[in-house]
Amino acid sequence: MDHQFWHTRWARQETGFHEGSVNRYLHDHWSELTDRGHETVLVPLCGKAKDLWWLHDQGHPVIGVELSEIACKDFFAEGETRAQVHPGQPFTRFSHDNLELWCGDFFQLVPDDLRHVRLVYDRAALIALPPSMRADYVTHLNAVLPDQASILLITLDYRTGEMKGPPFNVSDKEVYQLYEPNYDIEHVLTNTLAKDHPFARRKGLSEATESVFRLRRRAGNRSD
Ligand SMILES: C[S@@+](CC[C@H](N)C(=O)[O-])C[C@H]1O[C@@H](n2cnc3c(N)ncnc32)[C@H](O)[C@@H]1O
């Protein structure tokens, strides 16, 4: 999935992935990941998700990373908040209070950027990437995240070939293959979306499943 694909999606407002409200799995399961509510959170491939505001409102400093400048600008405009803009390379940073959107390529992050991050929220990031990019995504995440980090990961699975991603189908087995070498994995839940669920119907799927995982990194076990 090249950058132009996403720039075109944003320019044409083809953003069906944008929920427009707080994700229910985030709302229901975030508290199981945090004891203090004040750890810095990374939201990779964040779009303009309302989830960023919700995390901020819980008291977390938040860093969202997003390729599209349209998404970054829309995020603050729709939140009726004026952001300070700090142009730069490889990221232009939009900030308000301790909520920052870094506009640029996730793969340009370096460990020093994320030295304060303890938690990661991944909704529609891993599943936005085709199979060939997913291992690189996890390898890069491992390379830039501090040792103590935990992740709330939400995935989607459906029968291969029933639709053309994104979102791509990521099986539970693949989650274990990608993360088990470095993380303790807790499979929190699976929710089946039947054929007549609006998402399944819209995409022509016979069925889909959403899964939620809690991943805790094992200290001192870096694969980078
Ligand atoms: C499927 S959307 C999900 C957005 C958000 N997580 C949500 O839940 O609404 C994936 C987003 O990742 C962004 N993206 C894709 N590749 C990226 C990259 N290499 N670096 C940063 N953002 C990227 C796209 O522009 C898009 O907004």
Report which protein residue has its CA nearest ligand 1's atom 6.
46
Low-confidence ranges of the chain (pLDDT < 70): 220-224
Q: Identity (one letter) of the amino acid at 101?
A: L
Please state, in angstroms and rounded to a whole number, the distance separating the CA atoms of residues 135 and 157: 17
Number of domains in the chain: 1
Please state, in angstroms and rounded to a whole number, the distance separating the CA atoms of residues 210 and 28: 14
CATH number for position 212: 3.40.50.150
Find the DSSP H helices in 67-128: 69-78
CA–centroid distance, residue 100 to ligand 1 (Å): 15
Q: For residue 46, is it within any domain?
A: yes
Site to probe by mutation for ligand 1, drawn from 3, 4, 6 as the one with most ligand atoms within 8 Å of Cβ, is 6
Summarised one tens digit per residue, pLDDT across range 116-131 is 999 999 999 999 999 9
Please tell me if the CB atom of residue 125 comes closer than 6 angstroms to any atom of ligand 1: yes
Report which protein residue has its CA nearest ligand 1's atom 24.
6
Answer whether the bond into residue 87 is a cis peptide, omega within 30°: no
Q: For residue 222, is it within any domain?
A: no
Question: Whole-prediction pTM value?
Answer: 0.97
Please state, in angstroms and rounded to a whole number, the distance separating the CA atoms of residues 202 and 22: 21
Nearest-atom index, ligand 1, CA of 128? 1
Please state, in angstroms and rounded to a whole number, the distance separating the CA atoms of residues 118 and 104: 21
CA–centroid distance, residue 126 to ligand 1 (Å): 9
Query: Do 67 and 7 form a contact (C-beta atoms < 8 A)?
Result: yes
Summarised one tens digit per residue, pLDDT across range 36-57 is 779 999 999 999 999 999 999 9
For residue 197, the enclosing domain spans: 3-13+21-217
Contacts of 58 (CB under 8 A, 6+ apart): 30, 34, 37
Q: For residue 223, is it within any domain?
A: no
Please state, in angstroms and rounded to a whole number, the distance separating the CA atoms of residues 66 and 54: 17
Please tell me if the CB atom of residue 141 comes closer than 6 angstroms to any atom of ligand 1: no
Q: For residue 224, is it within any domain?
A: no
Please tell me if the CB atom of residue 14 comes closer than 6 angstroms to any atom of ligand 1: no
